[in-house]
Structure 1
Amino acid sequence: MPENNALNTKHGGEWKIAWRLVILAAAAINVAMLLAALFVAQIRGLDAWIFYRDPSAAAEVGFYTGWISSLGASLWIGSGAATLFAGLLTRRWDCTFLGGLTLVLGLDDLLLIHEDVLPIVGIPEIVPMIAYAAAGLFWFFRLRRKTFDGTIVFVAAGFLLAMSASIDQLGELFPTPGSAAAIAEDVVKELGIFLWAAGAVGYAAMVTRLGRPWVDPADPNSAD
């Protein structure tokens, strides 16, 4: 049968080996996470199950707790992964850097790395914030392709994210009663995330278009 012959080709064998590596990598990562959870639980006197539970269930609060924050982190991570993939696919350093930065920002936001994790090891919150700002400015002024027509989106996103960080820092220096300042910070931050994610995906689309022309199936002269 032709189908059986195709499976015996070198190309088919390469794909089979690749998927085996994916399975092994997924298993190894999950084992590493389990060991890390057991280790931290041991030294912190916690139940390792806490690392696998949903935060709202663990805190015994409403299921809607943190919905908007989680949505923002998901947008950052999703757009970062897509942009990083586009950069690696087209071998474009500018797109790869943007995707990696966006992905790191999303993971930081989701896992509270610069807010809670790094201060435990003595790294002030302001240090990673400065590093992120420097990386963003480096990409914008040195790596960004000048032909990108969505520059204004990144300008607006950067301004809003900087404003959110400023509100957060001012809130720590001058605490205010109520939640108005916290809500203002998060609203501005979420808008910045939405714009950044849109810009990142748009940039990935532009780079992919430049790296490999789109194919129109209806056009006989279109080449793949």
Structure 2
Amino acid sequence: MFLHYGSNIPIEQLTKDPVSVGRLPVHTGFLSQVGLFFWAASASLCFFNVSLLWDQPHLHRLKRFLLNSGLLTLLLGLDDAFLWHEAVLPAWGISEKLVLLGYLGFVAFYLFRSFPTIRQTDYVLLSVALFCFGVSIAVDGAYRLIGNQYLLEDGAKLVGIVSWFMYFFQVGRISVNLRRI
């Protein structure tokens, strides 16, 4: 309601589907929507597994890793859904490059802090996800050189998001097996 009253945005723009509001073809943003589902599923997996392990003091490092992973995933998913780095923050005078550098720093810190735990997992899918995210960001940054980059940029991002989900699905299965009843 704050957006409606505070910014004078019509209520239907806040409640209706973007495809309906924009009178766009129903397939508009299909792959983007699939990506959002996988972001949400990944964050849910992380938070759910934290709740399963809550009473397991011997798994403190794994719980912290899953909690931090869930928070990072939630941040990235919300950014993807609401275009924070592309539209919202630049409209407030914060450049997209600065936001991406902030995310890069945050992810680097997350990986550094989580490395001992990540090293104990089958991290191939996490590596694939990070590589694909890097390709997507690089293609986005070099769009003038590449031309029609949408399939490569968005395809790499979707493969990255699905790989991210699959990695945390694996970690979740392991964490369930580690739980002492």
Q: TM-score range by the shorter chain?
A: 0.7 to 0.9
Which secondary structure does the structure 2 equivalent of 1:148 belong to? coil
Q: Identity over aligned residues, as a percent?
A: 26
Provide the rounded CA distance (Å) in 2 between the counterparts of 1:80 and 1:128: 21
Residue 175 of structure 1, CA deviation: 6.3
| Paired amino acid for 1:38 | Y
Give the AA of the match of 1:84: F
Number of positions where the alignment pairs a residue of Structure 1 with one of Structure 2: 171
The answer (yes or no) to whether the contact 1:79–1:201 under 8 Å persists in 2 is yes
Alpha-carbon distance in 2 for matches of 1:127, 1:99: 23
Deviation per residue, 1:9-43 (Å, 9 max, x gap): xxxxxxxxxxxxxxxxxxxxxxxxx2333322x2x
Q: Pick from 183, 187, 199 the counterpart of residue 155 of structure 2.
A: 187
- Write the mapping of 1:171-210 to structure 2, written as runs, cut at 5 A: 171=143, 174=144, 180-210=148-178
Which structure features the higher share of helix residues? 2
2:20 to 25, 33, 57: 57
How does 1:73-92 map onto structure 2 within 5 Å? 73-91=36-54, 92=63
Return closer, same or farther for 1:89/1:132 CA change in 2, 3 Å cut-off. farther
Q: CA deviation at 1:88?
A: 4.2
- Which residue among 37, 44, 48 is the counterpart of 2:4? 37
CA contact (8 A) 1:87 1:99 kept: no
Equivalent of residue 147 in structure 1, options 120, 126, 130: 120
Residue identity in the other structure for 1:66: G
1:105 to 76, 86, 89: 76
Q: Look up the SS of the partner of 1:65 in the other structure.
A: coil
RMSD: 1.8
**Corresponding position: 1:163 with 2:135:** yes
Instruction: Give 3-state SS (helix, strand or coil) of 2:172's partner.
Output: helix
Distance 1:89 1:157 in 2: 25
Match of 2:10 in 1: 47
Aligned to 1:12: none
CA distance in 1, matches of 2:84, 2:104: 16
SS in 1 for 2:136: helix
Deviation at 1:121, TM superposition (A): 0.9
TM-score, structure 2 length as denominator? 0.85
Residue type of the alignment partner of 1:102: T
Specify the code of the residue in structure 2 equivalent to 1:64: H
Between 133-142 and 49-58, report the one with greater CA deviation: 133-142
1:77–1:107 Cα contact (<8 Å) kept? no
How far the C-alpha of 1:183 sits from its partner, in A, is 1.9
In structure 2, what is the Cα distance between the partners aligned to 1:161 and 1:110? 16
Q: Indicate the structure (1 or 2) with the bigger Cα radius of gyration.
A: 1
Instruction: Give the Å deviation of 1:160.
Output: 0.9
For 1:175 and 1:48, how far apart are their aligned partners in 2? 40
Note if contact 2:39-2:74 (Cα within 8 Å) is conserved in structure 1: yes
- Please give the secondary structure, in 1, of the residue aligned with 2:79: helix
TM-score normalised per structure 1? 0.70
In structure 2, C-alpha distance between the alignment counterparts of 1:176 and 1:110, rounded to whole Å? 25
Q: Post-superposition shift, 1:181?
A: 1.0
